[in-house]
Amino acid sequence: MNSVASDLKRHQDEFNAVVDGRHDNPFAILGPHATPDGRFVRAFMPEAASVALVDTQGDHLCDMERVNPKGLFVAEMPARKRRYQFEITFHDGNKWTVEDAFRFPTTLGDIDRYLLGEGSDKKIYAKLGGHLRTVEGIDGVRFAVWAPNASRVSVVGDFNNWDGRCHVMRLHPANGIWEIFVPGIGNGSKYKYEVLDRDGHLLPLKTDPFGSFFEPPPGNASIVFDAGFDWTDDEWMRSRTAESELGGPLSIYEVHLGSWRRKADEGNRWLNYRELADELVPYVAEMGFTHIELLPVSEHPFDGSWGYQPIGMFAPTWRFGTPDDFRYLVDRCHAAGIAVIVDWVPAHFPRDEHGLGRFDGTALYEHEDPRKGAHADWGTLIFNFGRREVVNYLIGSALYWVDEFHVDGIRVDAVASMLYLDYSREDGEWIPNEHGGNENLEAVEFLKRLNTEIHAHGATSFAEESTAWPAVSRPVDAGGLGFTFKWNMGWMNDTLAYMSEDPLNRKYHHDKMTFGLVYAFNENFVLPLSHDEVVHGKRSLIGRMPGDDWQQFANLRAYLAGMFGHPGKKLLFMGAEIAQRSEWNHDQSLDWHLLEYPSHSGVQNLIRDLNAVYKSTPALYEVDFSDAGFEWLDWNDRDASVLSWLRRDRHGGYAICISNFTPVTRDHYRIGLPDRRAFRVGVNTDDARYGGSGVGPGDLIVVDEEHHGRPHSMNLCLPPLATLILTAAD
């Protein structure tokens, strides 16, 4: 019996397991091995007609013997030879020389494996996923994926005919990570993972949880992507801090990239990231916004969604270009002085079979019990925040956007659904925590750790949180969740409800405009007029305003200026600045043609001027989160539906804000003032250039007459349905 036949006899059962795709560790069989019968090289090449061993110069060493008709080849290694390649001859006569993936050692070091197992690797995205590597001088791609309960994991792709028998991965039992280095492939390779569950059942092909780029549906494959972008924002990155955002002007333009503007003459297609850099960025800069907030750009399966059901937490969506194209967009924002916030969704993920759900045949990323692991309202699954590997995955994703894409802020969606175990659940549909309460203690600890890490990396965090959970935007070491900012959903709901009332009835709802100041300084609030308010039959902002056409626009202008005068940072969803009448539609761009009409262009002019006055008036932003920065002049003139207040800066300066929410011009309206100083009109929303009637406040003369308990006062003419912002004249 020759040596190859002896080797075949000794390992027959394992060879059969390899060719049948049942072997859980082909590294023990394939590749080079020393046995009692000699030194052998074994290869599984199901598409090959024949295989030969050649040296690194391509010289023939020996032919390999086919020992299984399904494509298993064996050869005895020639004496004194250590390096070899396979020369494959296919049935059509073509030849291809490749390296042997099963001869390479692991590329994950001991420290890597330890940190991954511990769940503390802050650059987990550099260890797991598909990454270009050079091993022993050979270029290729290292694939690694966490699937601890799988009986076998293979990487399949366009480089192995999607055959799960070809590149079965090596398991690291201590942490459940499967890994393989595939030589000879590179940038642009498409791949998925073929997973057998613990019972050997084949699961649907899975995309890479750490994939950095994806192909469109229905393929949905992950794509190896090697970043090659040269940043130009070094100075910006050195100077950014979370602290600087708290006391600075922050006016956010919230954008859904696929429907901001489209190419109508090119099949109504989306703008790509680079076109957005050329069109969106100059627009936002010209309008005076300080920040762009992007609705989730992480990969998601459905074009018609906002993007809040992510399938790729480490990948900018393919819809608008490559990851480097997205980097270009961020870089251009920074060059224009605009910070970038991305919406980020750790609360839940979709059930699409190629995604995270039951990834290795078990509830790996989610909870097994649907009372903890599923959102009935959304049809999605909930991350298991008690599992260190899942927490590492999520925090790694957030830091990936901050570090690798230079984003300046992370807006966390649906925080309330994470904090409460009984969120949108009836009795019996949820499981209390260990203390019998409804707080999700694991999610709380996750959020604290998340915010600590985000701030340590120089970025900010925003919570979309709609309940009375305390200290959402207070530091972790002070007992808070650690977010930089919290969306003020109560202010949004109350004030929009007030503005929807007929002006005749507003005096009966006056408290809706004043109640927010009772709690305005409990958190670091952002005032959000967001995307959520222009969908599902809620109507657009202008559509909620009562009255005839003129009154609707006047109401909207007065409301928007009142927001800019109110304590808290500002957020406006795209389209509000042109008073778009229709609700958001994912299939079309904003109604830019409306700017042909003075009433619509007037609102745009107002937003531009509000941003300019806001940024140039420290009293409107420096002391947003303390009552030291705010003082009512008169909060109780409900019969006239007039509100007046002061905003103070850190150095004794102040601005005056007055809103008249009735269509009545009020001559000789007196307000009390703490001292005598000169003022100018920063903004009058009734100005003709905004589409108003042109009524002005008159001479801004402060006199020594007591009013509102203050030693000085000023007589004004209050325009109808208008807000005035008065700033220091010197």
Active-site residue numbers?
Answer: 413, 464
- Amino acid identity of residue 298, one-letter, is S
Cα 190 to Cα 137, 157, 165, 186, 204: the distances in Å are 23, 5, 17, 10, 16
Query: What is the SS3 string spanning 287-305?
Result: HCCCEEEECCCEECCCCCC
**What is the rounded CA–CA span in Å between residue 382 and residue 130?**
25
Q: How far is CA 525 from CA 106, 404, 489, 520, 616, in A?
A: 49, 28, 9, 7, 20
Alpha-carbon gap, residue 670 to 647, rounded angstroms: 18
């990969």: which residue's tokens? 299
Quick check: helix, strand or coil at residue 727?
Answer: strand
- Residues contacting 645, CB < 8 A, separation 6+: 565, 630, 631, 632, 633, 635, 656, 657
Find the radius of gyration of the CA atoms of the chain. 31
| Distance between first and last Cα of the chain | 103
Query: Structure tokens of 205?
Result: 């092909």
According to DSSP, the β-strands at 374-375 and 380-381 are antiparallel
d(CA 540, CA 565): 22
How far is 285 from 272, CA to CA, in rounded Å? 19
- Residue 392 makes CB contacts below 8 A (sequence gap 6+) with 116, 119, 120, 121, 124
CA torsion angle for 474, 247, 572, 298 (degrees, to 10)? -60
Q: How big is the CA angle at 644 (ends 640 and 645), to the nearest 5 degrees?
A: 160
- Residue 197: count of CB within 10 angstroms of its CB: 17
CB 685 within 8 A of CB 606: yes
Closest CA to 72 of 155, 153, 12: 12
Burial of residue 687, with CB atoms counted within 10 A of its CB: 0-12 exposed, 13-18 middle, 19 or more buried = buried
Q: Quickly tell me which residue has 């009255």 as its tokens.
A: 547
User: DSSP 3-state assignment of 597?
Assistant: coil
Tokens of 272: 């790509």
Question: Which residues have a Cβ under 8 Å from the Cβ of 176 and sit 6 or more positions away?
Answer: 146, 147, 148, 149, 389
Of 131, 190, 125, give the one whose Cα is nearest residue 156.
Answer: 190
**646 vs 628: CA distance, rounded Å:** 10
